[in-house]
Structure 1
Amino acid sequence: MPADLFTPDAARDDAVAAPHGIRVGIGGWVFAPWRDNFYPRGLVQRRELEYASRHLSAIEINGTYHGPQKPATFARWAAEVPAGFVFAAKAPKWIVTSPRWRAQTAAARRFLEGGLEELGEHLGPVLWQAPLGHRFDRDDLAAFLDALPRTLAGRPLRHVVEVRDPSFLCADYLALARTHGVATVITDAPDYPNLADLTAGFAYLRLMRSRAGEACGYPAPELDAWAARARAWAGGAAPDDLPRVAPPDDPPAAAREVFVFFIGAAKARNPAAAMALIERL
């Protein structure tokens, strides 16, 4: 969708399609280097979400990680995006950086019930990002996952855990996550464990290898490969070219929803990477 179809004086009302149930986006929408790059020259900052949501099919909210948001803020964000667009919400850092997640169950519930319901149909998965050095503790994680609500204002809640320590690369973790129906982030990153084992009925990818020297962040062959993998997951299959902890189970008959976010690395290139992947899909 060319940028010149959206000007500071004329909004688009249509949403980017999510072919095969695959949604593609970026982390956040406020980033100065995206101006006069992803965002057209002259676009006022208050309309950046409006623009981004008409060129991508999902955004991972960064603001929920850094500080509390008011219900009115969530309602305003929901009003600015088109039908079919989805937000993923990143859980607050004061919860996920705690060495004992089971001590944060009340705080987690307050976060989930503190206004997210105002996103309505635009609310997608909630991401719980374990920090570097946070090791797998089965009892601690089990108590936390047991306490997470599975619905919010009558809508199903989907949870995702991002692991950043090799201690999670074990069958015990996979079994625990699958028992609770909690997804595990599939990461393309140089510094974190990469595993493609699915632990829920949807797939959640965070791709972190954008390069500043690539106009679309990722080289074309890598984007082609990620498009093929996303289509495989969406169709119920399991790509065989990524690291796994365990062999894949028999593929389910039902299709899966897939979320792909280009995060970090050469961040200025991430919107271009997302749009290039959407074009391939």
Structure 2
Amino acid sequence: MAIRVGIGGWTFEPWRGVFYPDGLVQAKELSFASRALQTIEINGTFYRNPTPKACADWARQAPEGFVFALKAPRYATNRRVLAEAGESVAKFIDSGIAELGDKLGPINWQFAPTKAFLPDDFARFLALLPGTCGGLALRHAVEVRHPTFACPEFVDLAQRHGVAVVFADHETYPAIADVTAPFTYARLMTAREEVETGYDAGALNRWAAAAGDWARGRVPEGLPVCGAGPAPAAGKGAEGKTAQGKTAQGKPAKSKAPADAARDVFVFLINGAKVRAPAGAMALQKLVDG
């Protein structure tokens, strides 16, 4: 069980002199960031497949114990019929990501806000996601942004496939905190630039508590879920942005997640006030590490 907190990418000019020391050359930014944080979500792979050389180079620069998350290519997810994404999925999986070795973390398959939930088509898409690559076990997460996904049928489908539903702290995207996989993936996207860490101390403490609950296989108290099953364990949780503590149908929060099953947790401070993301991630990591 590990809780890793990170950011999206490592090349961002406003971080220079704020996160990165003055005078640090750009070629050494990944080395610096991967020693200050425990995970980074690579966003460039959403726009183009990586090369084996690039993946090997990323792995070489990062220290032992560091883990990369990868955004899967938009060519697989931004399409009318998801069941036809097999070729795009295969090209990405075979592009060289196995060169990351034990630094390969979860893959985030992100969908557009306009993509509605069509159960049969989405089930066929999940069936396309392979379990291994180059001898490495793969962990898949799906980031859905249309309100039609906030339903028990979607959560049950993700759970059957062992795929994590990305929890989004966002003003408009559906917030689904159900635990559906052997790991949890959360993206915190409502940071404020006037706060040095993006989220204030109270919010960071709530998210630290939520991460601890997820790591123990529990749904954090107060976060919205859509599945049906055992009620989440009582405890301190974070405040959700929508339908706090209730399902999409307004019922008390419940989850089908196995009780007290330890799992890895990935939390990314991303979007929002991006300049504050590294400071927020480091502060949140300090809290969860105790």
Q: 1:132 aligns with which of 102, 108, 113?
A: 113
Give the stretch that moved more between structures: 181-190 or 253-262: 253-262
2-structure distance, mates of 1:255, 1:47: 35
Q: Would the aligned equivalents of 1:238 and 1:251 in 2 still touch at CA under 8 Å?
A: no
For residue 139 of structure 1, report the CA deviation from its aligned partner: 1.2
Distance apart, 1:237 and its partner CA: 2.2
Please list every run of 5 or more consecutive structure 1 residues that lacks an aligned counterpart in the other structure: 1-19
Aligned counterpart in structure 2 of residue 172 of structure 1, from 136, 147, 153: 153
Question: What's the counterpart of residue 268 of structure 1?
Answer: 275
Q: Does 1:215 align with 2:208?
A: no
Identity %: 48
Deviations for 1:184-208, whole angstroms, at most 9, x for unmatched residues?
Answer: 0011001211111111121100000
**In structure 2, what is the Cα distance between the partners aligned to 1:151 and 1:221?**
40
> 1:255 is aligned with what amino acid?
A
Counterpart secondary structure, 1:131: coil
> 1:250 and 1:124 mapped to 2: Cα distance?
21
Q: Structure 2: where are the runs of 5+ without partners?
A: 228-253
Does the CA-based 8 Å contact 1:203-1:257 persist in structure 2?
Answer: yes
- Residue deviations 1:146-202 (CA, integer Å, cap 9, x gap): 121100111110100001001111111111111110000011001211111111121
* Greater Cα shift, 159-168 or 236-245: 236-245
Give the TM-score normalised by structure 2.
0.88
Partner secondary structure for residue 85 of structure 2: helix
Corresponding residue of 2:249: none
Q: CA deviation at 1:250?
A: 6.1
Shift, 1:68, TM fit: 2.3
Question: TM-score, normalization: structure 1?
Answer: 0.91
Match of 2:266 among 245, 255, 259: 259
Assess if the C-alpha contact under 8 Å between 1:24 and 1:57 holds in 2: yes
- Cα distance in structure 2, aligned partners of 1:126 and 1:250: 21
Distance of 2:173 and 2:92 partners within structure 1: 26
Q: Which residue, out of 44, 51, 54, partners 1:73?
A: 54
C-alpha RMSD of matched pairs (Å): 1.1
Residues 1:141 and 2:122 are matched in the alignment: yes
Deviation at residue 217 of structure 1 after TM alignment: 0.5
Q: List aligned pairs for 1:231-250, cutoff 5 A.
A: 231-246=212-227, 247-249=254-256
Distance apart, 1:25 and its partner CA: 0.2
Q: Match of 2:6? A: 25
Match of 1:93 in 2: 74
CA distance in 1 between counterparts of 2:200 and 2:260 reads: 33
- Number of matched pairs: 262
